[in-house]
Amino acid sequence: MPFRCLLFILAICGLHAATPFKPNLGPDLPRITVSCGDVTLLLRQASQWTPGRFDFRGAPMTTERSAYGTVFSFPDVGFIGTAHLENEPEPLESLTFILDGKPVESPAAEMKGRSFRFERRSRVRGFDLTCVTEIENDRIHETTTVHAREAMPLRLVYHFMHAWTPTVSAFLAGNDTEPGKTLSGPLHDGSDTARKFFINRRIDWMAVYEPKSGQFGVSRLLSSPEQGGHISMIWNVPGSYRKFYLKCFENSTVPAGFTGTWRMVTAFGAASPAAWEDAARKLATGLQKAP
């Protein structure tokens, strides 16, 4: 059955909470790789079809050894969502693939084009979750929309989890209101940085440097609801990742009827260890104009 027809049937019939969505991707398609220009995105069935790795010019900038996207932490159970399937499932409602502006009814294991859009709809307890990932002009745009059907107490929610490769050696972060001031520091495997969180405050953009490839990545938060607040964090776990989180709704209740949208763009560049911070600042400024 064509993929779009399956989505149409599900939309008509409705989805009961006990009925999991089964995308018609075939048993032999556990991974989908999409390349657009210099950027490659990996999507994984194992993590409920959330991103699994970002590559730039053929070099992995992030690692597959983690979860991506959005995850909720509840006081009574812990994490639910994306690759965190240890507590409760995250029922999928729909998956939509669009390559070069045209819907893809039967995605292939490898796809290539000028632009790509992936839309994923799911449910986590009383939340409706829509996550959109787009690639165009060597930029990755991520948009997450959360709707609360009922009041939901949370320990926290993490958006835009990016598991940067453990070879990343440094970070840089800043706010537009203080253009001359930045937070920066090394990320390595020594005891003084191991398993510690960095940044830990509200920022507009952050960057990391990967010395083996000589490349860096810059992520900018384009928009977010004020309700729930947010701070940015990098968790340094040697041998696993230097992982970015946008933390919201810490130890608070999301009110019934809440609908909020968060938008982030990520882009990449190349520079020497001595020049990467200036290059990252310049790219971060340019991303302010991202649509």
Per-residue pLDDT of the chain (291 residues; tens, 9 = 90+): 444 443 333 333 333 334 456 666 766 789 999 999 999 999 999 889 999 999 999 999 999 999 999 999 999 999 999 989 899 999 999 999 999 999 999 999 999 999 999 999 999 999 999 999 999 999 999 999 999 999 999 999 999 999 999 999 999 999 999 988 999 999 999 999 999 999 999 999 999 999 999 999 999 999 999 899 999 999 999 999 999 999 999 999 999 999 999 999 999 999 999 999 999 999 999 999 877
Q: How confident is the model at residue 13, as a pLDDT?
A: 36
100-114 per-residue burial string, b: 16 or more CB within 10 A, e: under 16: eeeebeebeeebebe
pTM: 0.91
Number of residues written out for the chain: 291
169-190 per-residue burial string, b: 16 or more CB within 10 A, e: under 16: bbbbbbeeeeeeebbbeebbee
Separation of alpha carbons 104 and 3, rounded Å? 8
Pick from 123, 276, 148, 156: nearest CA to 207: 276
Q: What is the CA radius of gyration of the chain?
A: 19
Q: In percent, how much of the chain has pLDDT > 70?
A: 91
Helix (H/G/I), strand (E/B), else coil: 234:
strand
